[in-house]
A and B are shown apart, each in its own frame.
Chain A
Amino acid sequence: MKEVLNPRERFGLLVIDEKPDRCNIIPLITSHSATVYKIGLKEYYTNGKTMAKAQIAAIEEYGHDAISIFSEVGIIAEAMGSEFIYPDDDLPVLKSPILTKVDVFALKVPNPQKDGRLPIYLEAIDYAYSAVGDKIPILAYVPAPFTTGMMLSDPNQFLLATIKNPNQVKAIIEMSLKAAIDFCYEIINAGGLPIIVDPLASSSVISPRAYQEFALPGEQGLIQFLHRYDFDVILHICGDTTPILDLLLQTGADLISLDKVALKLAIEKLAKKMRIIGNFDTTKIGFGTVDEILKETKAMTRIGMRAEKGYIVATGCEVPIFTPTENVKAFIRAAKEAGWYWD
């Protein structure tokens, strides 16, 4: 089949409930692009232009359908004062959460133009938008308030506080929400479409009750802000979200990106109201054989295409950094072969 549309056109049709030539294919190629661009990870996440160039190089290599500006979920927490270590060959690691030093009421909403590595992200978005934004959507991943809250705190203490001191957790989330909104505002002005990522709200980490009480309100607040702009909002939660599938409908997200969930079940529960994104096993793409990836991606794509409001072929979480390029190519080739809508 001959592709008729470019990624921008393809995504544009999806969000107005029209079938494009084929499925959008957006594996979560984030820091893996540093591998494609043959640079060190530290260079990727500390230099905006480099991040954008690596992303563009990955698109040129693979032919998927969106730029994904992202490295890790600590970026807002870092801009609010949490300290991270920058290893040369790995992603930033949380060293000293700000709330181990100061009280929640001393937290400040960061300035995205100045604080932490937020300006690096904005530079990456701006560069990518100028370079390829006419043909390719620029997606910018924004950690949701709950996930940022945990990065501001000692993670264990934060989780305990959801039981022992819920008001404090809510206060942290409220500040994180303000920070996320300000960051989204600048992302939009730079040309990026914010995607909300809330990996630590996964049922692999917290209970459905804790999700409903703490994570969901933060997601809703951010989604409401983005809906003011009439954006179609993508929410990504990694891990197992089977126990909260029904609650996801309450987020207001227009597209839901899932990981460890049976795709058929997700479609059954969500696809009348949400477009479905997902959910190829990232272990498989990282370590599987090409034949396995080809076969399983095609099978997944055929199931996903049954989603009424539309489907994006994706990995369940980020493509592992050192995934062999032939594996990613196999994934995309299979999705392109199986994901055709037009005659």
Chain B
Amino acid sequence: MPKKIGLSDWSEQFKLVSVEQIKKFTYYHNSEWGIYLSPPATFMVYGTRELKRLKLDNSFAALRLWGFVFNESERLFRAKQIGKKVIATMGDLGIVPVIIMAFPDCVPFYPECIWWTPFFKESTVLLDTATQLGIPEATCFSKATLGAFYKRAYFPRPDAIFASTGASCDDYSCIMQLVEDLGYEIVWLEIPLRKGQKAYPNNASGRLEEYLIGEYQRVWKKMVELTGISNKNQLIKSIKKANQLRNLVTSIKNLTYEAPKAPLPGLELMTIEFGNLYGYADIEEWIDILKMIKRTIEDRIEKGLGVLQEDAIPIAWITPSADPLLLNLVEDAGLRIVQTEYVINQALVPIEEDIDPFRALARAFLQASLIGKTSERVKRIIAGVKEGKIKGVLITNMLGASHCAMETGLIMRFLSAVPVLAIDVPQPFGITEQLKTRILAFAETLKH
């Protein structure tokens, strides 16, 4: 029966997994150190402490998913050990890695995704280190990135770093500058603010496109310098690969959202959605995992099975939670996530394949979540509310993140037709009974 299970149940289930199955799945096709099919207990023993409390989907596909995701840090080091180039792409959330993957043996990753690490580890080590390096305490949890760059134990020293500034998260712009202060060489990209026709009266979108094309060509040039290779056909192939991933994720989301019973928990779905950014540093293997996830979902739907009660109340979630446990708690309260706005829309939309590849990437980026109007950002959710598919909205704020402080009030105004709960994500291991009560009260409001 599909369900969410805790660590000891997963350990019990893992007894049934054969050695042959364990050896079957590897990253970078390496059977010596590329095995990743381990139970949650393995990662817990190595310090991922929240796994003692989290509940995860009980499918074999989910075992693969979590093994692969928790293995990422090692994977990046291994990539470097076998001669691949590890490229840090910061701040743009979804486009630059498509360019990087056009170059052979280049592995992109997002250092900011380490913001989940303090929560998974229930540890303030990285946050405290960032504070010691000059980031104020009241800053977005993505400051963990700075601590990780300093410590050099979470990912290898990148062969190149591309960082986006401009119309990006203010906090993260500061963090990236401090990374540069640590002695890392950074190639900076400018993200333009997407405004309406009034601000750019002469072909607004066209001008922004041209600007972004120039920025992406700079990335391309730097990569050519780094690798000595320049093959635009590979960029076209890379876009096709990115679209394969994006289409797969879209279908997984649609299947899950529309099924009478949720066939997959919200935590796994969030993890899947963020995989669109860079395929967790091995896009081929990640796509293979998602195909298995999709088959699992289809099978569950066909059998009428799900991981949540059929009467779970559909909600939308805005801004991703740094603390994965919140997704468990929300579902435990009887809610079901059927729409999300996790600030990575540019990583979810299809990239045009029949135009110049740089223009296609620019157009995809112009659909980004945070570079334009709030009304644009939440329009899909507003539509869902109007159609009666969404009964409430949950917003998770990051303390200090400027877009949260500025946007949450606006979002609540746009979504006034349904109850909205906005909560600040507390520090690691900081979820209080009071916060749980607020979530339960929100669920009660929606039920009655």
Using a CB–CB distance below 8 Å, which chain A residues touch chain B?
4-6, 8-10, 12-13, 16-18, 20, 129, 133-135, 137-138, 185, 188-189, 191-193, 228-231
Contacts and interface: CB of A to CB of B under 8 A. Distances in A.
Contacts of B42: 188, 229-231
28 contacts: A4-B150, A4-B152, A5-B153, A6-B125, A8-B47, A9-B151, A9-B153, A12-B73, A12-B153, A13-B77, A13-B153, A16-B33, A16-B77, A18-B156, A133-B47, A134-B47, A137-B47, A185-B11, A189-B8, A191-B45, A191-B49, A192-B45, A193-B45, A229-B39, A229-B45, A230-B22, A230-B35, A231-B45
A137 B37 CA distance: 22
A133 B43 CA distance: 12
A5 B151 contact: yes
Contacts of B47: 8, 12, 133-134, 137
A191 B52 contact: yes
3 closest A-B pairs (Cβ-Cβ)? A134-B123, A9-B153, A230-B38
Interface in B140-183: 150-154, 156
A16 B121 contact: no
Interface in B160-209: none
B291 interface: no
Given A6-B125, A188-B11, 4 more contacts: A16-B74, A17-B81, A229-B39, A230-B42
B99 to A, nearest CB: 28
A191 B44 contact: yes
Contacts of B36: 230
B78 interface: yes
Contacts of B14: 228
A12 B155 CA distance: 11
Q: Which of B11, B41, B49, B77 has the most CB of A within 10 A?
A: B41
B125 A135 contact: yes
Contacts of B1: none
Contacts of B121: 134
A12 B73 CA distance: 10
Contacts of B8: 189
Nearest to B118: A134
A138 B49 CA distance: 12
Q: How large is the interface on B (under 10, 10 to 19, 20 to 34, 35 or more residues)?
A: 35 or more
Most chain B CB atoms below 10 A, which of A5, A12, A135, A228: A228
B332 to A, nearest CB: 22
Scoring A138, A191, A192, A230 by chain B CB atoms within 10 A of each residue's CB, the highest score goes to A230
B7 to A, nearest CB: 7
B19 interface: yes
Q: Which of B52, B78, B153, B154 is most buried by chain A, counting CB atoms within 10 A of its CB?
A: B153
B122 interface: yes
Q: For chain B, what secondary structure do more than half of its interface residues adopt (helix, strand, loop), or is it mixed? A: helix
Interface of B: 7-8, 11, 14, 17, 19, 22, 33, 35-39, 41-42, 44-47, 49, 52, 73-74, 77-78, 81, 121-123, 125, 150-154, 156
Nearest to B122: A134
A12 B7 contact: no
A188 B52 CA distance: 11
Contacts of A9: 125, 151, 153-154
A250 B19 CA distance: 19
B152 A229 contact: no
A189 B11 contact: yes
B153 A189 contact: no
Given A9-B151, A193-B45, A228 B22 contact: yes
Which of B17, B45, B73, B151 has the most chain A CB atoms closer than 10 A to its own CB? B45
Contacts of B52: 191
A239 to B, nearest CB: 29
Nearest to B52: A191
Nearest to A8: B47
A22 B199 CA distance: 55
Nearest to B80: A18
A17 to B, nearest CB: 7
Nearest to B150: A4
Contacts of A228: 14, 17, 19, 22
Nearest to A188: B41
Nearest to A194: B45
Most chain A Cβ neighbours within 10 Å, of B81, B122, B125:
B125
B109 to A, nearest CB: 16
Contacts of A17: 33, 77, 81
Contacts of B37: 230
Contacts of A4: 150-152
Contacts of A229: 38-39, 41-42, 45
A3 to B, nearest CB: 11
Nearest to B156: A18
A18 B77 CA distance: 8
Contact of B45 (A20, A135, A188): A188
A191 B49 CA distance: 8
A12 B152 contact: no
Nearest to A193: B45
A17 B49 CA distance: 23
Nearest to B154: A9
Nearest to B37: A230
Contacts of A133: 47, 49
Contacts of A193: 45-46
Contacts of B153: 5, 9-10, 12-13, 20
Contacts of A12: 46-47, 73, 153
Contacts of B17: 228
